[in-house]
Amino acid sequence: MNEMKKVSLVVIRRLPRYYRYLTELKESGVVRISSKALAEKMRVTASQIRQDLNCFGGFGQQGYGYNVSQLQTAIGDILGLNESHTTIIIGAGNLGRAIANYGSFEKRGYKLIGIFDNNKDLIGQEINKIKVSHIDTLEEFFQKQKPDIAILTIPKEVAVEIAQKLTQLGVRGIWNFSNMDLHMSVEGVEIENVHLSDSLMTLSYKIGQGVKK
Ligand code: NAI
């Protein structure tokens, strides 16, 4: 990768999709691909791909296209996927369990090391070989393990309080599923608010409008 410019979040948000397609191509044995062929596969324009990748200095070679494996590794590096991250889940309910039991995150380098809840009936239960601990033991846990990312699958009423606690304890990222956007601005802590329902509402709009994309 050549010199890196300041890249907009809009471009960064497109990179996981490139990463997914390139991983599939690599797994099916494709060694190189032109921006045109990649664009057709991803249903975007070739110029968008070239522009996006140029933000990082460009990866393709004229007349050759992209080396799939190299590009996948480079995008993985940009996204921080080639280093592992430790994660914890706060809230061992329906969603917390589903995420804990989803194996693909671990394959991507996100290692689940703790699950916390405040419901005493859940404490000590095992989810994907990890025992649920009481939320009151969070501080002690951080002193020993310092997880990088906390996944919040708790009710919205307690999201701010728990997020504040996590930032004080030194978490580096919060993947927030609780039904409330967190907008804390704390140096060294990144937040990603996730709403599956946003995607569902977009789908219902498309159904209503007959939009094809
Ligand atoms: P759930 O009720 O099954 O699980 C919530 C868990 O949080 C419970 O086990 C509860 O004991 C625990 N909890 C409550 N207060 C706590 C505290 N102070 N400390 C530690 N644990 C605490 O709910 P479910 O279905 O798993 O949903 C969890 C959250 O995720 C809800 O806020 C829900 O609205 C949201 N959600 C968000 C989605 C999204 O796309 N962002 C999709 C589905 C749910």
Is there an atom of ligand 1 within 6 Å of 135 CB? yes
Q: What is the pLDDT of residue 159?
A: 97
* Tally of CB atoms within 10 A around 212: 5
Nearest CA to ligand 1 atom 10: 91
For residue 18, give Cα distances in angstroms to 42, 115, 128.
8, 31, 30
Pairwise pLDDT comparison (117 vs 186), residue with the higher score: 117
Model confidence band, residue 212 (pLDDT cutoffs 50, 70, 90): low
Q: What is the pLDDT of residue 187?
A: 87
Greater pLDDT, 32 or 57: 32
In the predicted model, is pLDDT for residue 3 greater than 70?
no
Q: How confident is the model at residue 211 (pLDDT cuts 50, 70, 90)?
A: low
Q: How far is the CA of 115 from the centre of ligand 1 (A)?
A: 13
pLDDT at 148 over 90: yes
Tokens of 22: 């390139």
Atom in ligand 1 nearest the alpha carbon of residue 194: 41
Alpha carbon 127 to its chain's center: 21
Judged against a pLDDT cut of 90, whether residue 103 lies above it is answered with no
Q: How far apart are CA 35 and CA 66, in angstroms?
A: 7
Average pLDDT across the chain, whole number: 91
What is the average pLDDT across 93-101? 97
Using most ligand atoms within 8 A of CB, pick from 153, 162, 203 the residue to mutate for ligand 1. Answer: 153
CA of 158 to the centre of ligand 1 (A): 9
**Distance from C-alpha of 15 to C-alpha of 80, rounded to nearest angstrom:** 11
Q: What is the pLDDT of residues 132-145, one digit of tens each?
A: 999 999 999 999 99
Quick one: pLDDT band at residue 81, thresholds 50, 70, 90?
confident
Enter the pTM of the model.
0.88
Beta carbon of 114 within 6 Å of any ligand 1 atom: no
| Burial bucket for residue 55 (CB in 10 Å: 0-12, 13-18, 19+) | middle
Q: Which residues contact 180 (CB under 8 A, 6 or more apart)?
A: 156, 159, 160
**pLDDT band, residue 2 (cuts 50/70/90):** very low
Question: Measured from the CB, is residue 91 less than 6 Å from ligand 1?
Answer: yes
Q: Are 124 and 62 in contact (CB under 8 A)?
A: no
> Residue 5: what pLDDT?
54
The whole-number pLDDT of residue 104 equals: 85
Name the range with the highest mean pLDDT among 36-40, 155-159, 185-189, 204-208.
Answer: 155-159
Distance 84 CA to ligand 1 centre (A): 26
Q: Which of 112, 117, 108 is nearest to 99 (CA)?
A: 112
Does the pLDDT value for residue 115 go beyond 90? yes
| pLDDT at 88 (0 to 100) | 98
Does pLDDT of 4 surpass 60? no
